[in-house]
Amino acid sequence: MKKEFIGLWLKTGIIRNRQKDAEKIKSMIDSAAINAKVTKAIKLNDDTATLVFREIYESVRQLGDAKWGILGYEPSNHEISMEALKDLDISNKVKLNSLDRFKKIRHDINYRGFRATIPQAEEILDFWGKCGEEIIKILRKEIESR
């Protein structure tokens, strides 16, 4: 994360300084993993696509919050939570480009009454399958090394 962005985000209140709480961060990571595991077990259809999308999105967002916690900050919104994940060095880094679109879809679901389609739910499930476990592994390693 670039220091000039962090300074700007601190000044504007997008992030706040927080004391690192390793147990809280571990709990957030565990919660994201469990939530995604349970959600992946739901049979995907037109009726469940929105629920699946929203819950996997929430797990991804929690991982972003955990990353900020590791850095000693607390995000004030989803956009900045997702931003923390974009710098991670994962094997399928191009998949991180989907985060902004996922955030927009989730916003449309929550605030505009849209329903997620099966392909949208499949896409975020694919993202989780290709990136989620790797992100979790990276964050757990980071929290243990700090």
Is the per-residue pLDDT at 55 higher than 80?
Answer: yes
Is the per-residue pLDDT at 25 higher than 70?
Answer: yes
Report the alpha-carbon distance of residue 132 to residue 50 in Å, rounded. Answer: 19
Q: Which pLDDT band holds residue 121 (cuts at 50, 70, 90)?
A: very high
Question: Among residues 79, 61, 68, which one has the least CA distance to residue 20?
Answer: 68
Q: State mean pLDDT over 107-124.
A: 97
Q: Which pLDDT band holds residue 146 (cuts at 50, 70, 90)?
A: confident
Q: State mean pLDDT over 73-98.
A: 93
Domains with residue ranges and CATH for the chain: 44-145 (1.20.120)
Give the contacts of 63 (CB within 8 A, at least 6 positions apart). 28, 29, 32, 85, 132, 135, 136, 139
Q: Which pLDDT band holds residue 1 (cuts at 50, 70, 90)?
A: low
